[in-house]
Amino acid sequence: MSNDLLLSVNDLCVNYGNIQAIKGINFRVKKGEIVSILGANGAGKTTTLRTISGLLKPKSGEIIYQGTDISKVPAHKIVQMGVSQSPEGRQVFGTLTVEENIRLGAFTRKKPSQETIDWIYELFPRLLERRKQLAGTLSGGEQQMLAISRALMAQPQLLLLDEPSLGIAPILVKMIFAAVKKISSSGVTVLLVEQNAKAALKLADRAYVLDVGKVTIEGDASELLSDPRVQEAYLGKKAAN
């Protein structure tokens, strides 16, 4: 195994009952990369992340993280190993304050790191301004910042981001993507699931396109931005003849 390979997903199959949601996909993530998984609704993007984080168990295949197969490891142990997820739909605790939500992200650690909290407030100054507010009173974009912050409190080596731009005002999407770039620069590897293909490809180093549970296109993000198949399917442009 290459020393810089952090995650390797091999022949992964995942079923929901009798429905095969993931059909033998393969992909890899190197340390320090931002890798994006693109695809339409129902392509299997969220299922892939939930399986890596241990919330779903695969039917077959391997998820090798830092040389260890984690496909049967419980979710809380996977967090302890350095993988944390910011879920689709944000799932913040609306009746707790912003800061209480952030501190909950450190549940696998002996105590929350004040240094990490300070760093989070540097990344997301809006959360510092609203730290005593109930999370349920935040806008969708602010809740997304909070969900990412909560995932960062586990001090992950690999951060799984599920649809961070979904249903959010464009100006806040820009702020969130800029923060993801800073998170990556700090040494956290990022696996990003995103429907906003253009924004994701501008941010990512490499990308994989999922279509009905299979990887159909893969490559450097800059190449995929100009790939006619990606342009036609996800960027709203007709492919050139």
pLDDT tens for 98-142 read 999 998 888 777 778 899 999 999 999 999 999 999 999 999 889
The fold of the 5-234 domain, in CATH, is Rossmann fold (3.40.50)
Query: Is 46 in contact with 57 (CB distance < 8 Å)?
Result: no
**239 has pLDDT over 50:** no
What tokens appear for 40 in the block? Answer: 């339409």
SS3 content of the chain, % helix, strand, coil (to 5): 35, 30, 35
Distance CA 239, CA 187 (A): 37
pLDDT of residue 43: 87
pLDDT of residue 36: 96
pLDDT of residue 112: 80
pLDDT of residue 91: 81
In percent, the amount of the chain with pLDDT more than 90 equals 69
pLDDT of residue 147: 93
Distance CA 109, CA 216 (A): 39
**21 has pLDDT over 70:** yes
pLDDT band at 240 (very low <50, low <70, confident <90, very high): very low
Q: Mapped to the 3 state alphabet, what secondary structure does 10-37 carry?
A: EEEEEEECCEEEEEEEEEEEECCCEEEE
pLDDT band at 237 (very low <50, low <70, confident <90, very high): low
Pairing assessment for the beta strands 68-69 and 5-16 based on DSSP bridges: unpaired
Pairing assessment for the beta strands 189-194 and 34-38 based on DSSP bridges: parallel
Query: Is 136 in contact with 102 (CB distance < 8 Å)?
Result: no
**186 has pLDDT over 60:** yes
Residue of 30, 8, 37, 5 lying closest to 201 (CA atoms): 37
- Per the prediction, the chain carries an average pLDDT of 90
pLDDT of residue 128: 95
- What's the whole-number mean pLDDT along residues 162-189? 92
- What's the whole-number mean pLDDT along residues 168-190? 93
What tokens appear for 110 in the block? Answer: 């002996």
pLDDT of residue 169: 87
Q: Mapped to the 3 state alphabet, what secondary structure does 150-184 carry?
A: HHHCCCCCEEEEECCCCCCCHHHHHHHHHHHHHHH
Distance CA 207, CA 218 (A): 6
- What's the whole-number mean pLDDT along residues 50-55? 95
- What's the whole-number mean pLDDT along residues 166-176? 89
pLDDT of residue 132: 96
- What's the whole-number mean pLDDT along residues 182-194? 96
**88 has pLDDT over 50:** yes
Residue of 178, 112, 116 lying closest to 145 (CA atoms): 178
Distance CA 222, CA 106 (A): 35
Distance CA 89, CA 150 (A): 14
Distance CA 77, CA 79 (A): 5
Distance CA 65, CA 8 (A): 7
Q: Which residue has the higher pLDDT, 175 or 190?
A: 190
